[in-house]
A and B are shown apart, each in its own frame.
Chain A
Amino acid sequence: MIYIFSVLPLISAFLIFIFGRIKENISWIIATLCSFILLIFSFLTIFSNKVLVYTVGGWKIPFGICLVVDKFSSLFLIVINLITFLSLIYSFSYMKKYDRLYFYYILFCLLLAGLNGVVITGDLFNFFVFLEIASISSYALVAYKGGKEELEASFKYLILGSIGSSFILFGIAFIYGRLSTLNMADISNSLEFNYNKSSIIFALSLFIAGLSIKTALVPFHAWLADAHPAAPSPISSMLSGVVIKVLGVYGLSRLIFNIFGFNYNLSLILIFLGTLSMVVGVLLAIGQWDFKRLLAYHSISQIGYVVLGLGIGTPMGIVGGLFHLFNHSIFKSLLFLNAGAIEYNIKTKNLKEMGDLSKVMPITSNSSLIASLSIAGIPPFCGFWSKLFIILAAFMANLKLAGFLCILVSLITLASFLKVQKYAFLDKTNKNFQDIKEVPFSMVFSMSFLAILCILVGLFFPLVKDYIIEPASNVLINGKDYFKVILN
């Protein structure tokens, strides 16, 4: 039954392709229905206590392709389908001013199919194929508006993304050359004895290079700062909330923890990349006045937190990293939706031109206040707990510098988001925005849903931790014998 996650969006994409031209909002109905069904299925995967293995075409494990859903991929399934469902509801009224919307919804369903396909597959080459589907549909979605900046940003994203995918394909070629098998479980088994061969290490470094291009970690973050502001807001909330996480962090952690086995110098690499992108992301974000570009730089620094948490490798660190990944997808997509709401009403992304919006757009300003507080890590909200775990893990693993940098970066994040609040919502000086009214209901619904989720996760974090985050991190912690379960 697992194949539903990637086949249902494909079926809805084809239906939209045929019926989309007839009536205007048929395509929205099909897309939202499909993502709602998948959201329910993704919640169901938590309650199945064993690893779901499905062999496509009935062939035994190493010969055919097998689909694997364990607790770690069910965490990602929840994140993907939740944010997709809310962005689809949001884009009902946001996308009214564009015509031929069926292209948008087809590409959205294909992006969903690609992301779900990446998460449920248990085969290395299949991972690459679905990664391509998700990347190409996100290039097309970034270029959807057709303006000058969007096209140029999408072209830069396409070039860097294709370099990343060719590195990943090169890594797969080396692994196939040495082990001549493509199934992840089979690879991890046959890696037991011939681990430190130079071709395996070269393949691993190619994978890390390719996937860190996809996650926009610091040396390769150039495309993210252009791509996210250029995309329409529901897409940029999908991009920074879900796509860079699933393509990058899921791929990195699945390869490093479950296939290659975690060791000391790998954790050094991850910690270095994490702290570097954490610090550089926030430093770049301070001087920004374009709301969406500021949020894009903050995504880079928050992903740095997640990679740092995973890099520490201790159970506390992995739980902190995954929990921060879960929280970050919630409040970062909420922030992008707020930016979209402001842009929907005032047609500007520049913080200086915004004015006293809190009276005029109450829900948007309150939800963005909640999101800003939780991204900065203020106690009652969800961001605090995950950052706390990461900082504790860093100090327990006596990485003093990393711990202090974590605290420093979260302070700077707090400062820059207070600036956002002040200029966007509470600035009493320019009064020329009195006449506008609140954004339509569909945008309000998804923004308030995410804001309530932010609060709930913050308050009931032990519940969330035990049912979703803890089992996912157990999969990573006991690493290699995850595949023994699959093979027998």
Chain B
Amino acid sequence: MKNNGGMSIIVKRITRITVSLIFLFGVYIMLHGHLSPGGGFAGGVIIALSFIHLVLAFGKDFAFRYFNKTLAFFLEGLGGILFLVISLLGIFIGGIFFLNFLPKGSPFNLFSSGIILASNFAIFLKVGAGLFSIFIALSLYRLSEKE
């Protein structure tokens, strides 16, 4: 396989496996934010790192075919608006700004703590997409530096 950008073949072979594992680990950390350590922030940064891992291993042009700038911007905007909507829904339902309006369930199962899971997901989207768009901007900037 012609080595077009990115690192050697061995690294590419390994990254095919590890990228999905890291992605899965990030989603796990986010989903179990209220049960085990971690949460929206840690999960989001792990997701961003998995994409950066992909870009570093396979080179910019290959990685940007799947996850380019517009998708990153859209996801970040979506995450931000979702978090604002969650906070504002507290007003419409319970009349108080950041009210925990969703049913709270019983302590140790997954859907247990109302808006904590939902806002974990919103922060996860925002942090992940935001940090990845920082990395895109940095790498695109360096790219044009060479021309």
A touches B in complex, CB < 8 A: yes
A residues with CB within 8 A of B: 3, 7, 10-11, 14, 17-18, 54-58
Residue among B76, B77, B81, B97 making CB contact with A57, cutoff 8 Å? B97
Chain B contact residues, CB within 8 Å of chain A: 73-74, 76-77, 80-81, 84, 87-88, 90, 94, 96-100
Contacts of B94 in A (CB 8 A): 58
- Interface of chain B, main secondary structure: helix
Q: Which of B73, B77, B98 contacts A56 (CB 8 A)?
A: B98
Q: Which residues of A contact B96 (CB under 8 A)?
A: 55-58
B73 touches A17 (CB 8 A): yes
CB distance from B115 to the nearest CB of A (A): 10
- By Cβ-Cβ distance, the 4 closest A-B pairs, closest first, are A57-B98, A58-B96, A18-B77, A56-B97
Is the beta-carbon distance between A7 and B88 smaller than 8 angstroms? yes
Q: Looking across the interface, which residue of chain B has its beta carbon closest to that of A10?
A: B84
A7 touches B84 (CB 8 A): yes
Residues of B within 8 A of A11 (CB): 84
Measured CB to CB, the nearest residue on chain B to A55 is B96
Chain A residue numbers with a CB within 8 Å of B80 are: 10, 14, 17
Give every chain A residue within 8 A of B74 (Cβ-Cβ).
18
- Cα–Cα distance between A10 and B76 once the two chains are bound (Å): 14
CB <8 Å contact, B81 and A14: yes
| Interface of chain A: mostly helix, strand, loop or mixed | helix
CA–CA, A6 and B18, complex, Å: 41
Q: Once bound together, how far apart are the Cα atoms of A144 and B80, in whole Å?
A: 23
Q: Tell me which of B84, B98, B99 contacts A14 (CB under 8 A).
A: B84
CA distance A17 to B80 in the complex (A): 10
Instruction: Given the known inter-chain contacts A14-B77, A17-B73, A18-B77, please indicate yes or no for A57 contacting B90, CB distance below 8 A.
Output: yes
Looking at B73, B77, B97, B100, which has the most chain A CB atoms within 10 Å of its CB? B97
* Closest chain B CB from A316 CB (angstroms): 39
CA distance A176 to B77 in the complex (A): 35
Question: In the bound complex, what is the Cα–Cα distance between A18 and B75 (angstroms)?
Answer: 10
Between-chain CB contacts (< 8 Å), 10 pairs: A14-B77, A17-B80, A54-B97, A55-B96, A57-B96, A57-B98, A57-B99, A58-B94, A58-B96, A58-B99
The smallest C-beta distance from A277 to any residue of chain B, in angstroms, reads 37
Chain B nearest CB: distance from A133 CB in Å?
13
Question: Does A7 lie within 8 Å of B99, measured CB to CB?
Answer: no
Q: Please tell me if the beta carbons of A7 and B77 are within 8 angstroms of each other in the complex.
A: no
A3, B81: Cβ atoms closer than 8 Å: no
- Having A11-B84, A17-B73, A56-B96, one finds 19 other A-B pairs with CB under 8 Å, namely A7-B84, A7-B87, A7-B88, A10-B84, A14-B81, A17-B76, A18-B74, A18-B77, A18-B81, A54-B97, A55-B96, A56-B97, A57-B90, A57-B96, A57-B99, A57-B100, A58-B94, A58-B96, A58-B99
Minimum Cβ distance to chain A for residue B80 (Å): 5
A54 surroundings in chain B (CB, below 8 A)? 97
The CA-CA distance from A444 to B90 in the complex, in Å, is 43
Residues of A within 8 A of B98 (CB): 56-57
* Bound Cα distance from A377 to B99, whole angstroms: 50
> Given the complex of chains A and B, what is the CA–CA distance between A17 and B84 in angstroms?
14
Nearest A residue (CB) for B80: A14
Nearest Cβ on chain A to B136's Cβ, whole angstroms: 15
